[in-house]
Amino acid sequence: MTEAANFEKETAGSVTEAPAMLELVDLQVFYGAIQALKGINVTVRQGEVVALLGANGAGKTTTLRTISGLLQPRHGEVRLGGERIDGVPSHKVVELGIGQSPEGRRVFPVMTVLENLEMGAYRFKGVPKDDLERVLDLFPRLAERRTQLAGTLSGGEQQMLAIGRALMGRPNLLLLDEPSMGLAPLIVQQIFEIIKEINDQGTTVLLVEQNASQALQLADRGYVLETGAIVMEDDASALLSDPRVRAAYLGEGAA
């Protein structure tokens, strides 16, 4: 990130004044007769890290899949830079600058690390060397294992690969779905440090997480989803200190 961009992000109030990059407006999504999202409204501003918290089944992954074009809303809008993109095919959404690292990583196990990264750059003619070098700089462990089959990597390495693959598409907005799931605490810390570096380099991040403490320490703002509805939204620091959040997501008794 440039010095000017760093100054903007670090100046009090500057993030909230940044233009909206992504807007979800009264978004309603169904699986058959079952309503998974019940009219949610979410805004992600340029340069932010926004955390989307909630228990299993709250609708977090559904939200990301709808943004990515993998699911279509029955009602409401998905706007990118003020333009509606609900109804846009998923591969076109990638071309618009949205990348996603999915829940469960979903790397290609019988392809090498390098081949997986190359798949992330499928929309370009050839693999941009600068993009590959950036990803390998962010993830030195992937550089060491570039010829290794992805299926033989550890869980943490596969998560790094999934994020790196998403970055190869040059996203302006990166959607991360449960990047800490199933990982040891030390690896979780490394993953979150890398997410911060990605954001510092200028990529806006929408982070879906059950690890509320780590997510809110990293994020600028957060939303809490329960059974498909937004029940809380605030600055990340306010949510982190809220007794309801601490009781529900941090295992602490309500004050």
pLDDT at 232: 95
H/E element holding 41? strand 34-45
**Closest Cα to residue 42, out of 14, 68, 79?**
79
Task: Quote the pLDDT of residue 30.
Answer: 97
The amino acid present at 155, given as its one-letter code, is: G
> Where do the H-state alpha helices sit in the chain?
3-10, 14-17, 60-67, 90-95, 113-120, 129-138, 140-144, 155-167, 185-200, 212-218, 236-241, 243-249
- The pTM of the full predicted model, rounded to 2 decimals, is 0.85
User: Does the 47-70+94-249 domain belong in CATH 3.40.50.300?
Assistant: yes
Q: Determine the pLDDT at residue 12.
A: 42
Cα of first residue to Cα of last residue in the chain, in angstroms, is 40
Contact (Cβ atoms closer than 8 angstroms) between residue 96 and residue 150: no
Task: Report the pLDDT value the prediction gives residue 120, as an integer from 0 to 100.
Answer: 82
Closest to 25 measured CA to CA, from 93, 80, 79: 79
pLDDT given for residue 130 in this prediction: 81
Per-residue confidence (pLDDT) for residue 182, from 0 to 100: 82
Domain ranges of the chain: 47-70+94-249
3-state SS, one letter per residue, for 94-134: HHCCEEEECCCCCCCCCCEHHHHHHHHCCCCCCCCHHHHHH
pLDDT of residue 219: 97
pLDDT in tens, the chain (255 residues): 444 444 444 444 444 468 899 999 999 999 999 999 999 999 999 999 999 999 888 999 999 999 999 999 999 999 999 999 998 999 899 989 999 888 767 888 989 999 999 888 877 776 767 888 889 999 999 999 989 998 899 988 999 999 999 998 889 999 999 998 888 888 899 999 999 999 999 999 999 988 899 999 999 999 999 999 999 999 999 999 999 998 888 766 544
d(CA 229, CA 27): 10
DSSP 8-state secondary structure symbol assigned to residue 193: H
